[in-house]
Structure 1
């Protein structure tokens, strides 16, 4: 009996623990993530690489895209004032939508944070309700509101004003995008507020700090990461939006996404459409990364 116990002593404990260890403890981490990477490569990287290759093709109206390594499509998009106007309009709308979502969504998230149940759950459902409706349906709804005979112009008509041309304008696109993108700003800010200790805010008020000072010096630095992440999502989604600019902007107010659609399905110039899409992706990434780095540096400096 003693010899049996001694044989199962410290020298064999490693073997016993190794036998009892879960199977994934012996699998390298890169091997466990390999299926996800393969799926990502098949669904994202491969189509993106094919699109990049297509940008170097030459387009012939008679025969279509022709394989040729040339930069004519990039030169056409970057030097033509028509496409420069489209990109300027695209990012102008995205920036304006982001600023309005920050101005509306951050206070809305703070009000939601200060609420108590059941009101908080009810208003959270109201904020998330637009996400349950198709973007196309919401765009048609705004089209009915903003057209010449819509409810908005009928309201102005009660005061002897209008009718105003609201549909097929930049105003209509921005208003509809703010309605669609607002939940993507409210939720990250509200999540950041969940980490805020209410006692810190109460301590500042007890030390004779005004509510505005408490909001500016205590609350705002705490929700800065939420505002940063929310604004990045809103900007990226607004710059690449297609349904709302296509339905509320019409054929005159083109953005980059609708220009890509026209080149692919209208003129069938796939190389030029792929070039616009890749340049939109690159410009979007450069702006978002620069914005993230600048705000992250300022946020880190403000916190010491």
Structure 2
């Protein structure tokens, strides 16, 4: 393809390059510059301070563990929800279901977080209903549980979308053939449905994990400062003008997220290779 033939395509992608790629590359270069700034030539003392601090590893573990649990529960809830949406035949029912599921995305994440405060506070709706039953009150927020449940609510639509897209591509003939051959529902799920929807599952994991690992507002509000993640630590260090340490933490978060996503892609290719006909 000559340059003249490529010029229309280059013209089409130029807004993306200008609005997305260039600011991202510039911001990343600036963060890298701050991360390697210091009194020494390379500034590795900032990295040494971060790596040798046990508190840093504790925050990294909290971030990854919270993101992993959010991803797990989003898959656990989103998989049957996606199947149920796929089975709805009535346009009205599908419209109502999609509205209920995806309308929260139109609201600010801060509004949703404060909505969960109303539900989970000591005088909130959940504890009031438990009090009628003679239970509680329980501490449902300002802790790890409150951050987890609110983040699952925020991230659930991002898991349902790729799962629904993958489930929509399931061939009905394959499921019917498995049933005709005597497979029970568990075998149909594990040997037919699950392998066929694996690309959607991996896409959901990638999206939800990346969003959960970088979440700032929901863990900060529902965690009440007791759930300290890397995004919150980065924010605090920027506020205290320790930009070099904040840059190191940002690069660490970016590196961990990219490593997890790359591992998931390799895992997906491995499953596709193992499942290919021989």
Of the three residues 43, 48, 59, the one matched with 1:70 is 43
Q: Normalization by structure 1: what TM-score?
A: 0.84
- Alpha-carbon offset, residue 199 of structure 1: 2.6
User: Which residue of the other structure, out of 100, 119, 130, is the alignment partner of 1:126?
Assistant: 100
CA distance in 2, matches of 1:28, 1:140: 48
Match of 1:183 in 2: 157
Deviation at 1:143, TM superposition (A): 1.3
CA distance in structure 2 between the aligned counterparts of 1:117 and 1:298, rounded to whole angstroms: 35
State the distance in 2 between where 1:33 and 1:141 align: 40
User: Can you list the C-alpha shifts for 1:122-159, whole angstroms capped at 9, x where unaligned?
Assistant: 21221111111111100001112111111111122123
Larger radius of gyration: 1
Which of 17, 21, 24 is residue 44 of structure 1 equivalent to? Answer: 24
Structure 1 residues 27 and 42, CA gap change in structure 2 (3 angstroms): closer
Does the alignment pair 1:278 with 2:251?
yes
Task: Provide closer, same or farther for how the CA distance between residues 303 and 112 of structure 1 changes in structure 2, counting only shifts above 3 A.
Answer: farther
RMSD: 2.1
Match of 1:109 among 78, 82, 104: 82
Shift of the 24–176 alpha-carbon distance from structure 1 to 2, 3 Å rule, reads farther
In 2, distance between residues paired with 1:143 and 1:213? 42
Could you report, residue by residue, the CA deviation over 1:185-243 in whole angstroms, capped at 9, with x for unpaired residues? 11101111221222322232233332332222221111110010011000000000011
Whole-angstrom CA distance in 2 between matches of 1:212 and 1:74: 49
User: Is the counterpart of residue 268 in structure 1 residue 247 in structure 2?
Assistant: no
Q: Which has the higher contact order (CA 8 A, sep 6+)?
A: 2
TM-score by length of 2: 0.91
**Per-residue deviation at 1:33?**
4.3
Quick check: 292-301 or 86-95, which moved more? 292-301
CA offset digits 1:70-91 (Å, max 9, x no partner): 1111111111111111110000
123 and 67 in structure 1: CA distance in 2 versus 1, 3 angstrom threshold: farther
Deviations 1:30-87 (A, max 9, x none): 67645543443431100110011011223xxxxxxx7953111111111111111111
CA contact 1:56–1:67 (8 Å) conserved in 2: no
Inter-CA distance 189–26: structure 2 relative to 1 (3 Å threshold): closer
Does 2:239 align with 1:239?
no
- Any unmatched runs of 5+ in structure 1? 1-22, 59-65
Match of 1:253 in 2: 227
Aligned residues: 274
CA contact (8 A) 1:147 1:165 kept: yes
State how far apart, in whole Å, the 2-side matches of 1:230 and 1:155 are: 34
Indicate the residue corresponding to 1:4 in structure 2: none
Instruction: Say if 2:143 and 2:226, in contact at 8 Å, map to a contact too.
Output: no
